[in-house]
């Protein structure tokens, strides 16, 4: 049985959330941090961009500013995610612990999500789309997420900008609709995967924040998201507490991966590195708007 650290974190800003995940990734790669499951939230509704996305082409920055929704860029691939009514997880481990391809790792870690849903009384299934991107066999600084690859898409196509518009390989569905989106990167011998488990979902608000054309286009996008995306509240017929969802994710990962989780906090080195990364990288327009 493997021993991992579990961090039940408080909600933080978008830049700090990404800085913490990267600080853990760097230190695990250096052999200076333990394998970790982190469960966290967002201090305010935030859009996170995938590593490869072009901010101005994918997100309506004026609409975000008017709605008070900040934009941050993730260190992982994939498409835009609206972080609001959710519980977010991140897993940071040495890559040698899961030496297979990105897709194989997705499949293994998705077992923990399926088990978490079972603890919440839901039946989940893994998506296996008919067409996949070139995500297998990732090495070096590969970043993966969104719709199963890094294919370029037409700017301003809201359906192609949103992470939750369609499932990736081995992402989790309930009743045929996506309930969680995940993304992954591998750097310096370590692996980071993080994802958003939807407690609720405001599809109209998300559609209004993406660069998706006319009001009619945005209405169509909201309707399509409603058909393709679900949430714990919708499926359970009640609103689970954040603590209940965090506990289900922790227990699900522990059971599926044969883990012994020990609740702990951050090291002084992690805190110092996260503050520096937040200040020098994730809060800067050079990073967020770099594409």
Residues belonging to the active site: 163
CA–CA dist 270, 38 (Å, integer): 13
DSSP class of residue 170 equals: T
Say if CB 180 and CB 196 are below 8 A apart: yes
**In sequence order, which residues have a C-beta less than 8 Å from that of residue 213 and are 6 or more positions away?**
156, 158
Q: What percent of the residues of the chain are helix, what percent strand, and what percent coil, each to the nearest 5?
A: 40, 25, 35
Q: What is the DSSP secondary-structure string of 189-254?
A: TEEEEEEEEESS--HHHHHHHB--SSHHHHHHHHHHHHHHB--HHHHHSS---HHHHHHHHHHHHH
**109-131 burial, b for 16+ CB within 10 Å, e for fewer?**
bbbbbbbbbbbbebebebbeeee
In terms of Cα–Cα distance, which of 76, 56, 73, 54 is closest to 65? 56
In terms of Cα–Cα distance, which of 226, 199, 221, 227 is closest to 208? 221
Q: Which tokens belong to 52?
A: 């490869």
**E-strand spans in the chain?**
2-8, 36-40, 46-49, 71-73, 81-83, 86-94, 125-126, 143-145, 172-174, 177-178, 180-187, 190-198, 259-263
């Amino acid at each position: 049985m493997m021993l991992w650290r579990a961090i039940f974190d408080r909600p933080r800003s978008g830049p700090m959330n990404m800085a913490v995940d990267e600080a853990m990734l760097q230190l695990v790669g250096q052999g200076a941090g333990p394998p970790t499951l982190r469960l966290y939230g967002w201090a305010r509704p935030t859009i996170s961009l995938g590593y490869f996305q072009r901010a101005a082409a994918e997100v309506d920055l004026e609409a975000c500013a008017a709605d008070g929704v900040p934009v941050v860029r993730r260190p992982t691939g994939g498409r835009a995610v609206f972080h609001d009514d959710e519980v977010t997880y991140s897993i940071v481990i040495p890559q040698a612990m899961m030496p297979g391809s990105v897709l194989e790792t997705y499949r293994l870690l998705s077992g923990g999500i399926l088990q978490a849903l079972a603890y919440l009384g839901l039946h989940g299934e893994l998506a296996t789309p008919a067409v996949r991107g070139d995500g297998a066999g990732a090495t070096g600084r590969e970043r993966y997420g969104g719709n199963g690859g890094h294919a370029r898409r037409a700017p301003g196509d809201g359906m192609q900008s949103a992470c939750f518009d369609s499932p990736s390989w081995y992402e989790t569905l309930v009743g045929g609709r996506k309930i969680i989106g995940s993304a992954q990167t591998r750097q310096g011998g370590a692996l980071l995967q993080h994802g958003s488990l939807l407690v609720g979902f405001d599809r109209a608000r998300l559609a209004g924040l993406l660069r998706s054309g006319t009001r009619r286009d945005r209405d169509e996008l909201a309707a399509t998201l409603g058909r393709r995306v679900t949430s714990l509240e919708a499926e359970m017929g009640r609103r689970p507490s954040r603590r209940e969802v965090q506990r289900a994710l922790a227990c699900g990962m522990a059971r599926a991966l044969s883990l012994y989780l020990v609740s702990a906090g951050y090291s002084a080195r992690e805190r110092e590195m996260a503050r520096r990364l937040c200040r020098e990288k994730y809060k800067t327009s050079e990073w967020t708007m770099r594409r």
